[in-house]
Amino acid sequence: MNNKSLLKNNERIDQLFSEGVEIIQSAEVFSFSIDAVLLANFAEVKKSQNTNIVDLCAGNGAVGLFVSHRTQGHISMVEIQPRLADMAERSVKLNHLEKQINVFNQDLNNSEKVIAPDSIDAVLCNPPYFKVSEKSIKNPNSYLAIARHELKTDLESVLTVSSRLLKMNGKLFLVHRPDRLGEILNMMEKTRLSPKRIQFAYGHDEEEANVVLIEAIKDGKSGGVRIMPPIIEYEGSEYSEEMKAMLYGNPS
């Protein structure tokens, strides 16, 4: 099949060279960002074909696609927006991963209609970051607004659903904003998720962190949290060497 035959109007094919993954994108909807690359790099997924992975708030499928080459396990993507779910499904075909990945156009609160509870080894999630209030400035593009603001889901729903899907000792890998870290940790405690590994990313050295990555274990023992070395995204106007490796791979 000609790759371009999978494209619709105003779409393009981008590539994450480090993983050899191609992904269908459009300027009209939410495209994957560095946060998706950071989350995929942070997530530890088992190689076994018996592994079951869920990508919640999957968008156009970036995170699930990026980890697919590190596991033989099955990946389920859950995305509420029909257009993004359709793009994800076509990206799965583009990468010939139909036997490994399923895409469900579902509200994540209905995930258990298609994914058995207590059955998942790892949940990966790049959720909307921003709370909604009367004073919120939301993007006029509805695709971007839903991806960035808690219009269709919120932190409590994401963590509750993740906990329900995970088997005992299953792991959640979450990317979010540092200013909500306290709320995230409090909500994790209420949803049987024990944080075990935290890593901050910074746009530039000596700036405040702009991303937090969290690994949590369902029904894990409390304590034992590890704070990992920081990730610096840029050196001047260029990507740092660490980010270049994530995006383009290590030179041979």
CATH of the domain at 144: 3.40.50.150
Percentage helix, strand, coil, to 5, in the chain? 30, 30, 40
The whole-angstrom separation of Cα 136 and Cα 149 is 9
pLDDT of residue 131: 66
* Whether 24 contacts 91, CB under 8 Å: yes
Q: How many domains does the chain have?
A: 1
CA-closest candidate to residue 206, choices 183, 235, 180, 182: 235
CA-closest candidate to residue 176, choices 230, 126, 123, 233: 126
- The one-digit pLDDT tens for each residue of the chain (252 residues) are 456 678 998 899 998 888 889 999 998 887 788 999 999 999 999 999 999 999 999 999 999 999 999 999 999 999 999 999 999 999 999 999 999 999 999 999 999 999 999 999 999 999 977 666 645 555 555 545 545 645 556 899 999 999 999 999 999 999 999 999 999 999 999 999 999 999 999 999 999 999 999 999 999 988 899 999 999 999 999 999 999 999 998 765
Q: Which domain covers residue 80, as residue numbers?
A: 3-248
CB under 8 Å to 175, separation ≥6 — which residues? 35, 36, 38, 39, 42, 125, 126, 211, 212, 213, 214
The whole-angstrom separation of Cα 84 and Cα 60 is 5
Helices of type H across the chain: 34-42, 62-67, 82-94, 142-148, 155-165, 181-190, 241-248
Decide the pairing of beta strands 193-202 and 231-232: parallel
Tokens of 239: 């990507």
